[in-house]
Every structure is written in structure tokens, then in C-alpha cells.
């Protein structure tokens, strides 16, 4: 149940924009996706602004809300939203063709429990999500930044873990997945060290039944990668 909005500035500090954890990928879009972007964004977009978001006004009172940071082309987001219509989802990504694809999928399936954000989900989490308000945060296959000099750009670090722990409601779940084993090891170390989270699951080939296989994941599996799911919960 969402808590009363509080001052975000009193909780973990803003992310360092010089250590961006993603690559901006605009890409080209076909006419169908461009039309979806033009015509459906207003219907499904997260309301603009700088104030804390009123989640109850966005999805309805008593509706649990999950933030998904990075949804690719949106296939797994659509599948999970359709399977769990009682949960509100804020889906964020910086890939414009993927945003358009998700908008199109929402319209085609008639789903009304997803709101789409074309922006940095980590920044959004800091600036606009009230403390103690989220039922969950999903981070599926973030950029692993494999080169050692780029490790500081990885999304799941100590600052991010502390921020998520603050924004989760008691009992809320952080679910990360990666097919890059060194990143999985870092994730486990980071989440285990965060006092506001308790790691419940962390292992290779432990994908929960309710998380669909993503397109990126399928590609990694074809290449022989092993997938690790990590689930950490804010204590009740």
C-alpha cells in the first residue's frame, strides 16, 4: 500500500549523470511504430512533472505498483502485465523504438495497468517515486558494461541498492536478472551488503515461472550464457 509522499531529497542522493548506466539508442522506426508513438503516448505515458508521483491517482487506491527499469522491446513487460492485471507497472526505457513497440502492444491487448516512461528509470526513481511506495522494482538484463574501466557505469551498485531499498514498501521485492556472470557476482555482493534488503534467491538457472524469457535473454542462452536471477526483499 503506497505511503504518503515524502521529500525525496531526504533519502539517498541523485545518481551521478557522468556515470550513465545505459546507451541512448534511438534507432529507426517503421511507420506503424511512429504512429503508435504519436497517437498513444498521451494515453499511456507517465504524467510529466518534477513533483513526487501520486501512484494511487495513477493506478487506483490499494493497487501495488512495480517499476521496471529497461524493458527492451516490451514483450516480457506485456506478458507479465497481462498475467497480473491487478498490479500497476511503470515501464521505463530510453530506446525509442522499444517505447513505441510497448505502446502498440498495450493498445492491441487492451491493457490499462501499464504506464510508459521514455527516460532514465534510475533518475525517475530518485526524483518522482515516494519513499516506501513500490511493491517491486525489476531490472532485467541491464547493460553489463564488461570492460573494467566501465564497471562504474553499471546500474546495480551500492547507491542504487540503497535507493531501491528506500523506495520499496515493506515486503517489496527487487528482482534483477543478468546473463553476465561477473555482473551477477557484483550484484550479489552489492545486494547482500545493503542493510535495507534481504537476498532471498541468487543463483544460475533459477528463473521464476512468472518471469518470461526476454528476447535478449534468449539470444544470450543461444550463445551459451548462464542466466542468474537475484531476488532481494525489503524486510517487513
Ranges of each domain in the chain: 46-233
CB atoms closer than 10 angstroms to residue 73: 19
Q: For residue range 27-44, what is the model confidence (pLDDT) as tens digits?
A: 565 676 777 777 888 899
Supply the angle between the helices 96-109 and 31-44 in degrees, to the nearest 10.
70
Name the pLDDT band for 216 (thresholds 50, 70, 90).
confident
What are the catalytic residues?
143
| Assessment of whether the complete model's pTM goes beyond 0.85 | yes
CATH annotation of 46-233: 3.40.50.150
User: Which of 13-17, 75-79, 163-167, 196-200 is the least confident region?
Assistant: 13-17
Name the pLDDT band for 21 (thresholds 50, 70, 90).
very low
Continuous segment of H or E residues that includes residue 56: helix 55-59
What per-residue confidence (pLDDT) applies to 55?
97
How far, CA to CA in Å, does 63 sit from each of 28, 132, 169, 210, 226? Answer: 36, 14, 13, 19, 34
Amino acid at each position: 500500500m503506497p505511503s504518503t509522499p515524502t521529500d525525496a531529497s531526504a533519502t539517498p542522493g541523485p545518481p551521478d549523470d557522468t556515470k550513465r548506466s545505459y546507451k541512448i539508442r534511438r534507432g529507426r522506426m517503421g511507420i506503424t511504430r511512429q504512429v503508435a508513438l504519436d497517437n498513444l503516448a498521451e494515453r499511456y505515458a507517465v504524467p510529466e512533472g518534477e513533483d513526487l508521483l501520486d501512484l494511487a491517482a495513477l493506478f487506483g487506491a490499494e493497487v501495488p505498483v512495480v517499476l521496471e527499469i529497461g524493458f527492451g522491446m516490451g514483450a516480457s513487460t506485456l506478458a507479465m502485465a497481462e498475467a497480473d492485471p491487478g498490479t500497476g507497472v511503470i515501464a521505463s526505457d530510453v530506446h525509442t523504438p522499444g517505447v513505441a513497440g510497448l505502446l502498440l502492444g498495450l493498445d492491441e491487448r487492451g491493457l490499462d495497468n501499464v504506464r510508459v516512461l521514455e527516460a532514465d528509470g534510475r533518475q525517475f526513481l530518485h526524483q518522482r517515486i515516494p519513499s516506501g511506495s513500490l511493491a517491486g522494482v525489476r531490472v532485467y538484463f541491464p547493460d553489463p558494461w564488461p570492460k573494467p574501466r566501465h564497471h562504474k557505469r553499471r546500474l546495480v551498485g551500492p547507491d542504487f541498492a540503497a535507493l531501491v531499498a528506500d523506495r520499496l514498501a515493506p515486503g517489496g521485492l527487487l528482482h534483477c536478472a543478468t546473463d553476465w556472470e561477473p555482473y551477477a557476482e557484483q550484484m550479489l555482493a552489492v545486494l547482500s551488503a545493503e542493510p535495507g534488503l534481504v537476498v532471498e534467491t541468487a543463483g544460475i538457472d533459477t528463473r521464476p515461472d512468472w518471469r518470461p524469457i526476454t528476447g535478449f535473454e534468449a539470444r544470450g542462452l543461444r550463445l551459451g550464457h548462464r542466466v542468474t536471477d537475484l531476488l532481494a526483499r525489503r524486510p517487513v
